Structure 1
C-alpha cells in the first residue's frame, strides 16, 4: 500500500507482468489480467479499509489467513473468483550452496544447487563474481518482495531455469553493505540452513 499516492488501495500481485494487460473493474475491485490467457496478474482493492480496517498500512503487506478470507469473500461478492491464497512461508532464508557449475551458454553465470532446508534444494542461476560451492548465503525464494520493490519469480537465464535468487548485502539494503556485485557470504555459525534470515542480525555483519 502507498498511502501517499493511493490512500487505502491494496495492490495484490499474483503473477509477473506481461507486455499487454487488461483491467476489469467491478464495484471497488480492479482485476488485472493477461488477455491472451485470461490469467489473473493481480487485484487492486480500491477501498481496502472498507473490507477490513486491519489492512490499512503503508508499504509491504503480509496478509494473514483472516485477511485473505475477507478479501476472497469480497471478490466473490463483487463477481470475481476468490483467487487469493495465504502464504506465510519465509521468503528470505539462510541457504547453503552445495554445487556451482558453469552455465552451458554463459562464461559468467553459474548454475547452483542451493539447499534452503533439509528436504528442499533449489536450482538458482547466479552471476555473482564470488559464487562458489560450500558457502552459506541468503536466498530470496520465489514470491519474495525485495527491498527495492521487485518480486522474485521463477524464470530462466539463457535457457536454464532458476527458482529464487542468491542475494547480496546491497540488494538486501543491509546497513554499510558494500555497494558492488557479489553474494553475501554468511559465517557458518550465522544460523541453521532454512532459518528465516534475521535482517537485524544481518545489519551487524558490516558494522
Structure 2
C-alpha cells in the first residue's frame, strides 16, 4: 500500500509516504533528505518522509493527497536506493472510493447502534463493513471508502474491528466526503438506484450537484 500527501503550508517541501498503520514503538532513521519510520518490533516500514521533494519530483501543485504516477514512484525509489534504503514503494492506482451496494445489514451482537453489512463493491467477494449510520439498511447504493483511502479530512481507512467484528472499509456520508450542501449530520450517502454501476470509481465531479442549497 502507498498513500502520499503534501502540505507545503504546514510541512514545507515534504512528501509524506505511508505504507502501514502507525504503531506504538517506532524507529526513526534518516539519511540526507529521507527519513524512514519503521516498526521497532518487526522492522516493517511504516512510511517515509521525503524532504526537499521538489528537487526530485519537481513542483507539486497539491495541498493534500498526492496521486503519484508510476514514473514518480520510480524516481522516489531511486532516491531511496541512493540514500541506502530499500526501493520498496509500489504504485497503487486502484480506486479507493467506489460505488457499493449493501446486500445485507444485520444488527451487531454487541451494539445497539452498529450494523454489520455485506457490501458489494464489484469484486468476487463482498466487503464486510461495520457501520454506525442511522439510515443503514439492505438494498441501497452507497459510497465505500476502501482500505487505503484517504478521506478529505486526512483520515486513512485501515482494516479494523468494531466491538470485536472485522471491518474492511467505510460506508461514508456526503458530509464526510465534503460534498457541497451535504447534510451536517450522521448518515450514509444513499445514491439513486441508477446513479452509477456497482464497483465503479465514485464520480466526485458529478457529485458536486448531489445536494441543492
Aligned to 2:132: 127
Cα distance per residue 1:87-123 (max 9 Å; x no partner): 1011111000000111122121111000000534111
Shift of 1:61: 0.4
Q: 1:137 aligns with which of 132, 142, 159?
A: 142
Residue 71 of structure 1: how far off its partner (Å): 0.6
The partner residue of 1:198 within 197, 200, 203 is 203
1:105-116 aligned within 5 A: 105-116=110-121
Alpha carbons of structure 1 residues 15 and 48: separation in structure 2 relative to 1, 3 Å: same
Give the 3 Å change call, closer, same or farther, for CA 56–206 of structure 1 in structure 2: closer
Identify which of 20, 27, 32 aligns with 1:27.
Answer: 32
For structure 2, the residue ranges without an aligned partner over 5 or more in a row are 1-5
Q: Show the counterpart of 2:155.
A: 150
Alpha carbons of structure 1 residues 56 and 38: separation in structure 2 relative to 1, 3 Å: farther
The TM-score with structure 1 as length reference comes to 0.95
Q: Secondary structure at the match of 2:121?
A: strand
1:164 is aligned to 169
Matched length = 207
Q: Contact conserved, 1:100 with 1:110, CA < 8 A, in 2?
A: yes
Q: Following the alignment from structure 1 to structure 2, what is the Cα–Cα distance between the partners of residues 11 and 125?
A: 29
Say whether 1:2 aligns with 2:1.
no
The whole-number CA distance in structure 2 between the counterparts of 1:178 and 1:165 is: 18
RMSD of aligned residue pairs (Cα, Å): 1.3
User: Hey, what does 1:75 align to over in structure 2?
Assistant: 80
Paired with 1:118 and 1:158, the residues of 2 have a C-alpha distance of 26
Provide structure 1 residue ranges, at least 5 long, that are not aligned to the other structure: none
Task: Measure, in 2, the Cα distance between the counterparts of 1:127 and 1:134.
Answer: 17
What's the TM-score once normalised by structure 2's chain length? 0.93
